[in-house]
Amino acid sequence: MAIIYDGEKAKFSAVIYEDEVITLREYLQEKASKEIEFNFNECEDIHLAVLQLIMAYKMNYSASYSFGDKVKIFELVLKGFVESENNCN
């Protein structure tokens, strides 16, 4: 498993494939309204469906990110996502 869940922390390592989506969705639904810390320090790449869940959570609740030294495309996507410019209504 490439995502380790520990309370309100989710640590991502290696490559996160699409098969992690359901488990992550269940985790986020269980933690809804809590501040989640997403740790991507050891993550090499991440599937778009997983990114969408993370961005949707951050749109509705509080979340923080930590990244490794080497900038990855998914980091730019997450940092460039501005919740106020999107409307879910």
For residue 62, what are the domain limits?
3-80
Is 86 part of a structural domain of the chain? Answer: no
Is 87 part of a structural domain of the chain? Answer: no
- Whether pTM > 0.75 for this model: the answer is yes
Please write the tens of the pLDDT for every residue from 36-69. Answer: 999 999 999 999 999 999 999 999 999 999 999 9
Please write the tens of the pLDDT for every residue from 65-85. Answer: 999 999 999 999 999 887 665
| Nearest partner of 76 among 53, 46, 49, judged by Cα | 46
Is 89 part of a structural domain of the chain? Answer: no
Q: What is the CATH number of the domain that holds 30?
A: 3.30.750.24
Strand ordering across the sheet containing 36-46: 3-6, 9-16, 36-46, 63-67
Is 76 part of a structural domain of the chain? Answer: yes
Enter the tokens of residue 87. Answer: 């409307």
Count of structural domains, the chain:
1
